[in-house]
Every structure is written in structure tokens, then in C-alpha cells.
Amino acid sequence: MTTRRIGVMGGTFDPIHHGHLVAASEVAYSFKLDTVLFAPTGQPWHKSPAPGATPEERYLMTVLATSTDDRFDVTRVDIDREGPTYTVDTLRDLRAQYELNFPNLETEWFFITGADALADIMEWRGPQEVIALAHIIGVTRPGHEMRHPDLPADSWTLLEIPAMAISSTNIRARAGRGEPINYLVPESVANFIGKRKLYQ
């Protein structure tokens, strides 16, 4: 049986930026992952419905941003599921999908999250099931202290990555004020935001 190591990076990606891409790339390298699957959330449950991009636009921007990297792929599992997104559902659905489509593939699953999201891990729905489904990799993020999650030591790993002080919140605010977002997001994403007049 062939074994594949797959990382899942969940996020709102409103919009996707170079902080997300560096995190995914660094984890892929350090953990010898074959693939990182970006999973844009459905209606984000922890955020108020602020004027952002639609789920379909967030999905499209994620595809644009990842299209030039062979290691990266995008999944629609969360976009296509009704209701709010919970990590446990993302992992359960992806694992079921892979077992069905690739019965001869043995997969090892990893879930990638930034320091801020890692801190909330115990508030996620079903943290015990999450760690049964995937090994958690927490990456450093500027402005967010890495708080150790209250989880068994062998269920998660911290990885120090180059500091990218970029957030989607800041990019939306910049776009709203007509300030440049070049080089914070891939060129294709900046063009898409301009073309659709997002975040204005």
C-alpha cells in the first residue's frame, strides 16, 4: 500500500494571503507532506457576517492562490456542507472521501493551524475526535502568543515559521480604504479583489 501524508489547512480565506501560503509551505516541507488541502469554511461560525466575499469568491481566490504549487490543492467539503464549519466535520468528510476514492491509499492526516486558532482548540467541537482524526500542527503567528493547547503531548506539534504579520482583516480594511494590497496576497488574488470590487 502506498502511504500519503496529507495536511489540511482550514480557514475563512477572506481573502487568502501570503501568511497562509508560507504556513502551508513550511509545514509541507518540515513534515514531508505530499499535499496540503486548503479548506475554505462555509458560513464562518465564529465571525459575524461582516461585508466580506461570498463563500464561492473565497473558494475561487483560494484556487487562484494555490494553482501554481503542485503540493497545494483546494477542497470544497466545507463550502458545500450546509451550516457552520467544524474542524471535526472537515476531517471526517475528507477521510471518508479519500477512503472511498482511493481504497489502496493509506493516508496520514495532519491539521495545520495558526497560533491564534490553536489557542481556541479546546473550544472546537469534539477536540478529542479531532486529534483522533489528525495530528495537529500549530504554527507561530506574529502578534499571537503560542498558548499550549490542553491536549495530549503526542497529539500536536509546534512549528516555528518565518513571521508574516499579515491578516485577512487588515487586507479587507486596506482594500476598503483604497490602500495597496500588493505583495500581501498573490497577484492573481489582488487582481480578483480589484475586478470584483471586494471589501469596499
Q: Which residues bind ligand ATP (CB under 6 A)?
A: 11-14, 19-20, 23, 113-114, 116-117, 139, 141, 164, 166-169
Cβ proximity to ligand ATP, 102 vs 124, nearer residue: 124
HEC-encoded secondary structure of 68-122: CCCCEEECCHHHHCCCCCCHHHHHHHHHHHHHHHCCCEEEEEEEEEEHHHHHCHH
Between 99 and 179, name the residue whose CB sits nearer to ligand ATP: 179
Nearer to ligand ATP, 105 or 173 (CB): 173
Give the shortest CB-68-to-ligand ATP separation in angstroms.
19
Half-sphere exposure of 179 (CA within 13 A, CB side): 8
CB 73 within 8 A of CB 38: yes
Closest to ligand ATP by CB, 100 vs 177, is: 177
To the nearest whole angstrom, how small is the minimum distance from the Cβ of residue 155 to ligand ATP? 17
Reading the block at residue 101, the C-alpha cell is 476514492
Triad 13, 132, 144: Cα angle to 5°: 40
Q: How far is the CB of 23 from ligand ATP (least distance, A)?
A: 4
Least separation, in Å, of the C-beta of 66 and ligand ATP?
14
